[in-house]
Amino acid sequence: MPKTILNFLKISISVCIAGLLLYFVFRNENLEDFQKQASLVDYTWVTISIVLSLIAYAARAYRWNILLEPLGYKLTTLRTMIAVLVGYLANLALPRLGEITRCGVLNRNDKVAVPAALGSVVTERIIDVLTLLILILISLILESDRLFTFLNEAYKDLNPPSYIIWVVMLVGLAGISTLILLIKRRDKMNGKFASLIKNFIDGLLTLKDIKNPIGFFVSTAILWIIYFLMSYTIVFSLPATSHLGIGAGLMLLITGGIAISLPVQSGFGTYHGMIAGMLVLYSIDETTGKFLATLLHTSQIVAVAIFGSIALVISFLIRRNNIKKDKLSEK
């Protein structure tokens, strides 16, 4: 099957899945209710959230540079930020496409080897997952009473088998053991698939060679603080949610992070349903919850569309300039 047709099918399937999820989430909602909610929005807070996203992109780009440096690449934050933004833009078309795209942009613009860049991206994702897990633990402590009350009511008739915990523990142990085995035997691996595994492991081990650990830690902290503020500021744009506290803001960040990480195009449907379900914990009605989720999600999509499109144009200009320089050097 030609690559163009295959890519078209991937995008089409992803769009269809996202469309179905959106339909199931919003099928019982009244458009007039959403229009009333929209008339009450203070868009100043939405604008602040979009502007804050630029700081998050810069923090991610700076952190990525720290991971690339041990691999022999020293880039400016602006150049890496362009690649990050183009990657986010690509994610709107297909889940996880952005990771490969931003590595390709760095390869074209700054001669960064794609395998090395992919390895560093793997490290980034691992750190983000660990950070999200830490935030989940913090939220469980801060919001434990509210959360357990909700779970008891929602799943009071559900009796999971007692062995399920052991299954989870065994799967986790098997995964860790497999990873340790792969790390030890990576130099003896051969073949195309083995090369992918090596890139994954090299990316994972990049952390031990970084030259600026403080900068890495601080940029990671800034990144997630800004993510929190991007979600929490929009809470104040609606009268019905403006009373929500920091605990609710943290739950918004975590729920949104989990929803976006699922293999669904840009979190369409999953984001809206999960955010609305979480807001039930705070006595926010379903319609308001879905509208706030829509506002949050749309603001992030708008930010990516605007800044990503600008970055894409700049990337094309950089690429064209590089081609001209290469032609001059050949003469």
Instruction: Give the position of tokens 């900068």.
Output: 215
* Residue 54, domain member (yes or no): yes
Quote the domain boundaries for residue 48: 37-326
* Residue 49, domain member (yes or no): yes
Q: CA end-to-end span of the chain, whole Å?
A: 41
76, 79, 83, 86: CA torsion to nearest 10: 140
* Residue 276, domain member (yes or no): yes
| pTM summary value | 0.80
Residue 276 has a pLDDT of 87
How far apart are the C-alpha atoms of 216 and 213, rounded to whole Å? Answer: 5
* Residue 66, domain member (yes or no): yes
Nearest to 236 by CA among 276, 282, 306, 295: 295
* Residue 1, domain member (yes or no): no
| pLDDT tens track, the chain, 331 positions | 555 665 556 556 666 666 676 666 666 667 777 788 888 899 999 999 999 999 999 999 999 999 999 888 889 999 999 999 999 998 887 767 788 899 999 999 998 888 888 888 888 888 898 888 888 888 877 777 776 665 565 445 545 555 555 666 677 677 677 766 766 666 666 655 566 666 666 656 667 778 898 999 999 999 999 999 999 999 999 999 999 999 889 988 988 888 887 766 667 778 888 888 888 888 888 888 889 998 999 999 999 999 999 999 999 999 888 877 766 666 6
Q: CB–CB of 320/276 below 8 Å? A: no
How far apart are the C-alpha atoms of 114 and 100, rounded to whole Å? Answer: 8
* Residue 28, domain member (yes or no): no
Q: CB–CB of 95/259 below 8 Å? A: no
* Residue 331, domain member (yes or no): no
Number of domains in the chain: 1
Residue 158 has a pLDDT of 47
Instruction: Give the position of tokens 């998050």.
Output: 56
* Residue 13, domain member (yes or no): no
How far apart are the C-alpha atoms of 77 and 210, rounded to whole Å? Answer: 16
59 Cβ contact list (under 8 Å, min separation 6): 219, 220, 222, 223, 226
